[in-house]
Amino acid sequence: MRPSLPLLLLACAALVACGDDDGDTTSTDAGPDPVDMPTPEVDAFVPDPDVCDELDLAREPFEAGGAAVMGGLAGDFTVQTTEGAWVFSEEHSGCESYVFVTYGPTDYGNGLWASVPDGLYLDGPRNAHYFIGTYETDPAAITARLATMQAALDEGFDFHGVSEADRAFWREHIHFVNQPMNEIDGSVGTLLTATPVFAMAIDRAQHFDPLGSLFEVRGGGFQPNLGMAAYGPHWFNYLYDLEVGLDGADAMVFPLMPGETLTDRIIERSVTLPDASTMAGFDTLELDVQVHCFLDPAGCSEWDRIAHIFLCIAEGDDACAETRELVRWITPYSRPGRRRWVMDASSLLPLMSEGGDQTFRIVMGPEWEEATEREITISLRLADRRDEQPLAAELAFTGGNFDATYNEGRDPYVTTIPAGATKVELVAIISGHGQTDGDNCAEWCNHVHTFTANGNEHVLDFEGQAGQAKGCAERSAEGVVPGQWGNWAPLRAGWCPGLPVEMLRIDVTADVTPGEEATFTYTGGFDGGEPRGGTMSLSAYVVASE
Average pLDDT over residues 449-472: 94
Find all residues with CB under 8 Å of 148, minimum gap 6, and list them: 113
Last residue of a domain, one of 238, 261, 287: 238
What are the pLDDT digits (tens) for 57-99? 999 999 999 889 999 999 999 999 999 999 999 999 999 999 9
Rounded to 5°, the CA angle 318-324-327 comes to 130
Question: CA–CA separation, 108 vs 106, rounded Å?
Answer: 5
CATH for 312? 2.60.120.230
* pLDDT value, residue 298: 63
Say if residue 310 is in the same domain as residue 407: no
Last residue of a domain, one of 238, 265, 300: 238
Percent of the chain scoring above 70 in pLDDT:
90
pLDDT class of 16 with cuts at 50, 70, 90: very low
Say if residue 443 is in the same domain as residue 356: no
Say if residue 266 is in the same domain as residue 175: no
Say if residue 378 is in the same domain as residue 405: no
Evaluate whether 44 touches 51 at the Cβ level (below 8 Å): no
The answer to whether residue 538 scores a pLDDT higher than 90 is yes
Say if residue 70 is in the same domain as residue 123: yes
* pLDDT value, residue 178: 97
Say if residue 381 is in the same domain as residue 450: no
* pLDDT value, residue 440: 82
How many separate domains does the chain show?
3
- 528 vs 135: which has the higher pLDDT: 135
Find all residues with CB under 8 Å of 341, minimum gap 6, and list them: 242, 288, 289, 329, 479, 499, 500
Last residue of a domain, one of 203, 238, 273: 238
Domain range holding 525? 387-546
What are the pLDDT digits (tens) for 115-162? 999 999 999 999 999 999 999 999 999 999 999 999 999 999 999 999
Cis amide leading into 280 (omega within 30): no
Mean pLDDT, the chain, whole residue set: 91
Say if residue 116 is in the same domain as residue 230: yes
Q: Comparing C-alpha atoms, which of 185, 24, 210 is closest to residue 99?
A: 210
Percent of the chain scoring above 90 in pLDDT:
82
What are the pLDDT digits (tens) for 237-258? 999 999 999 998 999 999 999 9
Beta strands of 233-354 (E only): which ranges?
252-262, 266-275, 284-293, 306-315, 318-330, 337-344
* pLDDT value, residue 14: 33
Whole-structure pTM over 0.75, yes or no? Answer: yes
Is residue 163 within a helix (H) or strand (E), and if so which, with residue range? none
The answer to whether residue 5 scores a pLDDT higher than 60 is no
Q: DSSP labels for 16-55?
A: -PPPPTTS--------S-GGGSPPPP-PPP-PPP-HHHHT
* pLDDT value, residue 6: 32
Say if residue 360 is in the same domain as residue 504: no
What are the pLDDT digits (tens) for 263-309? 999 999 999 999 999 999 999 999 999 999 977 666 788 899 999 99
CATH for 156? 3.40.30
Say if residue 342 is in the same domain as residue 391: no
Examine residue 136 and state whether it is found in any structural domain, yes or no: yes
* pLDDT value, residue 300: 86
Q: Comparing C-alpha atoms, which of 179, 207, 205 is closest to residue 193?
A: 179
* pLDDT value, residue 418: 98
